[in-house]
Copies of this chain bind each other. A is one copy, B any other.
């Protein structure tokens, strides 16, 4: 039974496994000082076109978020994000566990606006409240939506003018960058944020996120924080080899593009069948609204998450495609809908 539940159901892209095989018995330094990690970092700097950034390879997204935010903020400083933000709802209070409040603002589409950030600043003006200091966005968002370049520029400029750190969670960044409507490149992400990460766990790696720190002030002693949070792998080569391969010949973007294409194909089939969507997502997560009895029927042939009740008869479901989604599975799903 094919699963559209998420984009981490399979192992890794075969090229990654091959690279692991080939390098396996060569001795390397530990803790990220291996040649693969150093090479991967070089490739990432080259792709971004900025040699002054710091790049750290970390195993997972929550770990990257808590290590970065925990390192960037002083105890009284807080994060601001949308109410559906991953750090706000799906990281078991990992940020609060590092001591920092996560202030949320409502957002229908998973995106934050400067107006919403300003509202938070207006409500936090003295020492009886936390001090909002870091704006957390994700691109794409938890709802699959993406920021346009001008939206990012606007938020970036606003944050700079207010002394706020702009931090972007890029767990699915490949899909945002490869979306047709995007126009945002890796270089833009770097230029417009203080720090962001390039997710690989959800784009063909076994595990791994590449954290990019551009803001000079935030770079200091960062490896201490990685170690302190338990995120410094002895065999850092495992991360290095994967990113080396993903950024070889553009594999990373190829995989993200495939995921997006499969989502578009699925979306097209659903639209043809007259189906509406909860939100308009140009990336690899889509949220079609279906009649409940159709959902029940589909559940017998496919696996996916029910997302939310829309009315008494209809609900939105979440379908996630990935680097590994076979076109046949998508076509079969469409056939099932249309029948």
Chain B residues within 8 Å of A66, by CB:
229-230
Chain B residues within 8 Å of A10, by CB:
24-28
Cβ of A115 within 8 Å of any chain B Cβ, yes or no, is: no
Contact stretch, chosen from A37-45, A69-77, A249-257: A69-77
CA distance A229 to B99 in the complex (A): 12
Report the minimum CB–CB distance from A233 to chain B (whole Å).
6
Cβ of A226 within 8 Å of any chain B Cβ, yes or no, is: yes
Chain B residues within 8 Å of A26, by CB:
10
Question: How many residues on A have C-beta within 8 angstroms of the other chain's C-beta atoms?
Answer: 75
**Which residues of A1-45 are within 8 A (CB) of B?**
2-3, 5-6, 8-12, 14, 17, 20-21, 23-30
Chain B residues within 8 Å of A62, by CB:
227, 230, 232
Cβ of A63 within 8 Å of any chain B Cβ, yes or no, is: yes
Cβ of A96 within 8 Å of any chain B Cβ, yes or no, is: yes
- Given A71-B74, A92-B76, A127-B227, check contact A20 B17 (CB 8 Å): yes
Report the minimum CB–CB distance from A95 to chain B (whole Å).
8
Q: Closest B residue to A67 by CB, please name it.
A: B230
**Which residues of A213-230 are within 8 A (CB) of B?**
221, 223-230
Chain B residues within 8 Å of A17, by CB:
17, 20-21, 24
Cβ of A297 within 8 Å of any chain B Cβ, yes or no, is: no
CA distance A201 to B232 in the complex (A): 12
Cβ of A231 within 8 Å of any chain B Cβ, yes or no, is: yes
Chain B residues within 8 Å of A64, by CB:
230
Contact stretch, chosen from A152-160, A179-187, A234-242, A286-294: A234-242
CA distance A202 to B234 in the complex (A): 9
**Which residues of A74-105 are within 8 A (CB) of B?**
74-76, 78, 89-94, 96-102
A100 contacts B96, CB within 8 Å? Answer: yes
CA distance A189 to B39 in the complex (A): 41
Cβ of A135 within 8 Å of any chain B Cβ, yes or no, is: no
Q: Which of B5, B61, B201, B232 interacts with A127 by CB under 8 Å?
A: B232
Cβ of A60 within 8 Å of any chain B Cβ, yes or no, is: yes
- Given A17-B24, A23-B11, A92-B224, check contact A231 B63 (CB 8 Å): yes
B100 contacts A93, CB within 8 Å? Answer: yes
Between A20, A130, A232, A237, the greatest number of chain B beta carbons within 10 A of the residue's beta carbon is seen for A130
Residues of A bordering B, CB below 8 Å = 2-3, 5-6, 8-12, 14, 17, 20-21, 23-30, 59-67, 70-71, 74-76, 78, 89-94, 96-102, 127-131, 201-202, 206-207, 221, 223-235, 237-238, 324
For the complex of A and B, list the 9 residue pairs with the smallest distance between their C-beta atoms, beginning with the closest: A63-B230, A11-B24, A76-B224, A9-B27, A93-B130, A92-B228, A93-B101, A127-B223, A62-B230
